[in-house]
Amino acid sequence: MEAVRILDKPANITWDYDDEADVLYLSIGAPRPALGLDIGDGVVVRYDEAKNEVVGLTVIGLRARLAEELKAS
């Protein structure tokens, strides 16, 4: 099985935060269509099957997670 490429070289990371939905979208390079793989805990890896590489992450409930962690510490 070939290894999945994750940031082989420096890349432009772009992001967008949906305040209403409390979702953070991170893209490696320009956002593009990709397969979403739910890896648990509200994190979805976006994966380009044709290039065999990770092209982004989606973090669901970011503000709620941060508030919970800050309250716990």
- Any idea where the domains of the chain sit in the sequence? 13-72
pLDDT at 6 over 80: no
Whole-number pLDDT of residue 30: 86
Of the ranges 1-5, 14-18, 51-55, 67-71, which one carries the lowest mean pLDDT score?
Answer: 1-5
pLDDT in tens, 18-67: 999 999 999 998 888 999 999 999 999 999 999 888 999 999 999 998 89
Using DSSP's 3-state secondary structure scheme, residue 66 falls into helix
Whole-number pLDDT of residue 2: 64
Burial string for 59-72 (b: 16+ CB within 10 Å, else e) reads bbbbeeeeeeeeee
Contact partners, residue 1, CB within 8 Å, separation at least 6: none
Structure tokens at 57: 């992450």
Distance CA 53, CA 72 (A): 35
Whole-number pLDDT of residue 29: 86
Structure tokens at 4: 């999945």
